[in-house]
Amino acid sequence: MAVPWTLRDLEYWDGRIREKVAEFGLNCYPQEFELCDHTQMLSLMAYSGMPSHYPHWSYGKSFERQKTLYDHGVSGLPYEMVINSSPCIAYLMRQNSLALQILTMAHVYGHNDFFANNFTFNHTRAELVVETFKNQANRVRAYTADPSIGIDKVEAILDAAHALSMQCRRNPAIHKRDATEQKQAAMAGPPNDPFKSVHKRPVAQTPDLNRVPLEPEEDVLLFIRDHASNMPGWQKDLLTIVHDQMQYFLPQIETKIMNEGWACYWHRTIMNSLELPSEIHMEFLVRHNQVVRPIPNDINPYHLGLKMWDDIVRRHDEPSFDEIEEMQQSPQAVSRPSGREAIFHIREVDRDVSFLRRFLTRKLMHEMDMIEMEPEGDDLIVSRVSDEDNWKEIKRTLIAYTGMGSTPVIRIIDSDHGGNRTLLLRHEYDGRELLLEYAERTLRYVQQLWGRRVVLQTVLDDKEVAFSWDGSDFEQA
């Protein structure tokens, strides 16, 4: 069935795709493609596509799981595996047909452009990524090989660090105040209120400048690294490594829908403009539809993202009557950009949460039959459909679970709680409860790193509760 192909064919099609990429104005990093077989692809998946990565058993587990799923035909392998680096590295599976390779390459250029231009990726230092990961891998291997440390100790720290790696700041673009700035802010008192005369005068409070941290701290690993007593250097380094890697992956988590939608939008646009031979074009259509079809009861980021980009373009180029009216009321009505201009701008300045908030319209939600589901016993029951009364609610639910939204926010409140160096953490309750078994286990990891009692405040059944773990006893207060 598949058309036999050679590296020459790939180079030819890559040239054609690059012409289109330039013509459409995509602004990419240099691109590298590497051919691999399916075992290599499984390995790459386990290590997030990184050419080198520190070892940890969880990646072996991930490999085994992917392999089991693949061997039993439950899931296929991804067509594309691309990493945010400069040059941008992507992998092509040699077993795939030519049509699939062309499709993948076009798709990869979409991702490449997104990595290079979206603001959330600014801090990832794409040109150093491969070296950074390699350097981190070497450090971890050195600790493992060190006879005074060894694999068991390294693993224990990594296990704990992995459990807490998602407990970090969600938006690196927002400046984080250091201790001095926090102190200044605390001493400055409340901001000047222009409506002092009508507002009730606030009760003056003396800030407690001795508390560490002054402001609730979200970077749990970094805080423990900097404030735990007697933590050896290699442990601090491991925490830093895990934190830095999460910072690198954060933008990909935060822009999954935009990024995949963007890549799909461009692979479709490029493929349609390439004047492909008909059999390749047919296969492309089949594959494309497999990738962007909706998944029942779930969100397919490829599908949702593509739908939204299409909708934005349509609203700018061929707005409906209502939309014209709506737009004329908005302040930007004077200079209305074309669809292309608009999406290039949006791919630079938005992330999934703001993207959904700004551009997921009621009409689109209705068209896609967005629903909200609630569990009832073992069954999922549709609780809301996208009608006049409910679409905003559904959108809120969707945004709540988008990107890092699916990870609870845990903040460090005090590192000397009760005056005995107890670490006090607070779960910022937003109506969603923690899964208790997991919270308990994760709290043990916090304690393991911190070395003294840790307390976690959260809300269960609308009541405030605190769990405490001191290494031997688990208490609920």
Partner 1 sequence: MSTIFRDYSSSDALQSDRSSGDRLRHRQKVRDAIRDNIADIVAEQAIIGRSRDTIVKVPLRGIKEYRFVFGNNDARAGQGKGDSQPGQRVGKVPQPGDEPGDGEAGDQPGVDYYETDITLEELIDLMFEDLELPDLERKALRETISHAATKRKGYRKVGVRVQLDKRRTALARVKRKMVLDHPEQEEGEAGEEQAMPETAGEPTGGFVPVRGRFPFVKNDMRFRRRAEDTDYDSNAVVICMMDTSGSMDQQKKYLARSFFFLLYQFVRTRYEHVELVFIAHDAEAHEVSEDDFFHKGESGGTLISTAYARALEIIDQRYHPALWNVYAFHCSDGDNMPGDNPRAVKLASELCEVCNLFGYGEIKPSGYFRDQDAMLGVFKALKAENFQAIRIGDKSDVWSSFRNFLTRDKAGLTTVT
Minimum Å gap between C-beta 103 and partner 1 is 14
Residues 3-22 that bind partner 1 (CB under 8 A): 7, 10-11, 14, 18
Token pair belonging to 74: 């439950």
Token pair belonging to 403: 């990107």
63 in contact with partner 1 (CB under 8 A): yes
Count CA within 13 A, CB hemisphere, residue 61: 3
113 in contact with partner 1 (CB under 8 A): no
How far is it, in rounded angstroms, from Cα 249 to Cα 232? 27
CA angle 111/265/81 to nearest 5° reads: 30
Residues 230-249 that bind partner 1 (CB under 8 A): 245, 249
Residues 391-420 that bind partner 1 (CB under 8 A): 394-395, 397-398, 401, 406-408, 410
| β-pairing verdict for 422-427 and 454-460 | parallel
For partner 1, which is the closer residue by CB, 108 or 214?
108
Minimum Å gap between C-beta 416 and partner 1 is 23
How far is it, in rounded angstroms, from Cα 230 to Cα 451? 9
445 in contact with partner 1 (CB under 8 A): yes
Token pair belonging to 259: 């990024």
For partner 1, which is the closer residue by CB, 315 or 427?
427
For partner 1, which is the closer residue by CB, 76 or 337?
76
45 in contact with partner 1 (CB under 8 A): yes
294 in contact with partner 1 (CB under 8 A): yes
Where does this chain touch partner 1 (CB under 8 A) — which range of 115-123, 198-206, 337-345, 366-374? 366-374
For the beta carbon of residue 431, count every other beta carbon within 10 angstroms: 7
For partner 1, which is the closer residue by CB, 185 or 409?
409
Among 22, 35, 145, 188, binds partner 1 (CB under 8 A): 35
The torsion angles phi and psi of 39, rounded to 5 degrees, stand at -65, -40
435 in contact with partner 1 (CB under 8 A): yes
Where does this chain touch partner 1 (CB under 8 A) — which range of 73-81, 263-271, 412-420, 462-470? 73-81
Q: DSSP string covering 57-122, please? A: HHHHHHHHHHHHHHHTTSS---S-EEES-SSEEEEEETTS-HHHHHHHHHHHHHHHHHHHH-GGGG
Residues 458-477 that bind partner 1 (CB under 8 A): none
Among 379, 388, 462, 473, binds partner 1 (CB under 8 A): 379
Beta pairing partners, 82: 90
106 in contact with partner 1 (CB under 8 A): no
296 in contact with partner 1 (CB under 8 A): yes
Say whether the peptide bond before residue 213 is cis (omega within 30 degrees of 0). Answer: yes
191 in contact with partner 1 (CB under 8 A): no
Beta pairing partners, 53: none
How far is it, in rounded angstroms, from Cα 441 to Cα 322? 53
